[in-house]
Structure 1
Amino acid sequence: MNARDRLIVGLDIPTIAQAETMVSTLGETVSFYKIGYQLAFVGGLEFARDLVKDGKQVFLDMKLLDIDNTVANGVENIAKMGVTMLTLHAYPKAMRAAVQAAKGSDLCLLAVTVLTSMDEPDLIEAGYDHDPHSLVLRRAEQALAAGMGGIVCSAEESAAVRNIVGSGMAVVTPGIRPAGSEAGDQKRVMTPADAIRAGSSHLVVGRPIVKAADPKAAAEAILAEMQSVL
């Protein structure tokens, strides 16, 4: 894959009209988009279908977690949408149910390990005994065993995760920040080039592109940086 196949632009935007404008602004520069909670609840699921019809790839960031039957039923319907990737929390029972439900489809299921906005004190507060790195690696092992298509982790863990999952799984990393940009609410961040070097297969970039004065130029700069190390 070239850089364009690996860059996922996060459409963390309030309205469908604004998302449509952003996609139009980015044009052929970007071919892969993430739709998460903010957009999903104002018509983002239908917008995802529209993007697929227009030949774009869609990463549906729903972070599913529920009883096995509910997860399976949801995954079955999402697979019919034609999106490329879907996230769920990396709980073994949920992952196994999702993998079974997605069989026969092209949907890549991604296991969310530890959110990039969380550090060790956050995990301790939530009741976990593991530090972020250890928990990410444990969940990567469980995702591999469950037959998931990829892992979502911070780029700081990409190299260690890649050692566990090998070359056959996607390693998708949010919290990507070009040099000089603000981290915002992200706590475990890395530049695009360093993330690719570390073993990330796909980079999720939201605010550094969609909040930029010139989103297309920002995307082009990130793509050039990624391509320089591919």
Structure 2
Amino acid sequence: MPDPRAPLSPAERIICALDVPALEDAMRLVDSLEGSIRWFKIGMELFTREGPRAVEAVLERGAGVFLDLKYHDIPATAERAVASAGALGVSLLTVHAAGGAAMLEACARGRDSCQTPPAILAVTVLTSLDTNALAAAGIGRPVEEQVLATGALAKEAGIDGLVASPREVGSLRRALGDDILIVTPGVRLASGGHDDHARAETPQTAVRDGADLLVIGRPIRDAPDPRVAAEVFAQAIGQGMASR
């Protein structure tokens, strides 16, 4: 199983999102990317339908699993959920930083109880949101300020990493240093659309500014040849690494 904290090649920095409804569809994509992609994200849609067997199927193929369920609950419940996810053998999982310090600290305890602890990533602000959307939800800070505040809270609570849009990566890296993982969804090639990501950027920009891992879904999943699409993204990531 790959280690998210180890030095990574450009291709190893890609997490392919298995945002599909059924296990057969997910495994078809995983198999098409064998030897090319080492990380796969299992989110709410697939896990709700297929449960832990989706995790098991990816692990059986020697790939790493990023379980993206974004836990956000009272501390005791969140702690147990993290421990249960760790027992499945996932390498990465998500919680919402908005759950607060007590919940984040409980999640860290759940992680530490695991025989092989996963890395916990705190979601700062969803990439679909902008400052107007935050204001409508009663949050008065601009997006970047909210991302920095929740990121600092998560790091202080002992969380391993953060999920943030590529536009905030540089600010997070400068504020929080190099000892925290930053995982970035919402990356698109310069020639592609943004889909429902309000704060998208190119892979080159995200990696140059300090992102460790990039979550890429539709541009790979829906490509005529997913392997070729992954190679194009890996080349872009390599360009970003060279410009750091």
So what's the TM-score if we normalise by structure 1?
0.97
Corresponding residue of 2:163? 152
Q: Aligned with 1:62: secondary structure?
A: strand
Corresponding residue of 2:11? 4
User: 161-170 vs 55-64, which deviates more?
Assistant: 161-170
Distance 2:52 2:188 in 1: 27
Report sequence identity in percent.
Answer: 34
Matches within 5 A, 1:59-208: 59-90=66-97, 91-103=100-112, 105-208=116-219
The structural deviation recorded for 1:165 is 2.2
Per-residue deviation, residues 144-195 of structure 1 (Å, max 9, x unmatched): 1001000000010001111222111110010011111111111100111111
**Conservation of the 8 A alpha-carbon contact between 2:11 and 2:231:** no
**Unaligned stretches of 5+ residues in structure 2:** 1-7
* CA 1:3–1:106: 2 relative to 1, 3 Å: farther
The residue identity in structure 2 corresponding to 1:92 is: A
Distance 2:144 2:51 in 1: 32
Aligned residues: 230
Q: Aligned with 2:215: secondary structure?
A: strand
Corresponding residue of 2:34? 27
The structural deviation recorded for 1:224 is 1.4
Per-residue deviation, residues 77-128 of structure 1 (Å, max 9, x unmatched): 1111111100000022211100011115331000000000000111011111
**Conservation of the 8 A alpha-carbon contact between 1:177 and 1:191:** yes
**Conservation of the 8 A alpha-carbon contact between 2:124 and 2:150:** yes
The structural deviation recorded for 1:44 is 4.5
CA RMSD of aligned residues (A): 1.1
The structural deviation recorded for 1:4 is 2.4
So what's the TM-score if we normalise by structure 2?
0.91
The residue identity in structure 2 corresponding to 1:183 is: H
Corresponding residue of 2:64? 57
The residue identity in structure 2 corresponding to 1:126 is: A
**Conservation of the 8 A alpha-carbon contact between 1:153 and 1:173:** yes
Distance 2:227 2:12 in 1: 16
Q: Structure 1 segments of 4 or more deviating over 4 A?
A: none
**Conservation of the 8 A alpha-carbon contact between 2:30 and 2:58:** no
Corresponding residue of 1:18? 25
The structural deviation recorded for 1:32 is 0.2
Q: Aligned with 2:34: secondary structure?
A: helix
**Conservation of the 8 A alpha-carbon contact between 1:16 and 1:44:** no
**Conservation of the 8 A alpha-carbon contact between 1:150 and 1:170:** yes
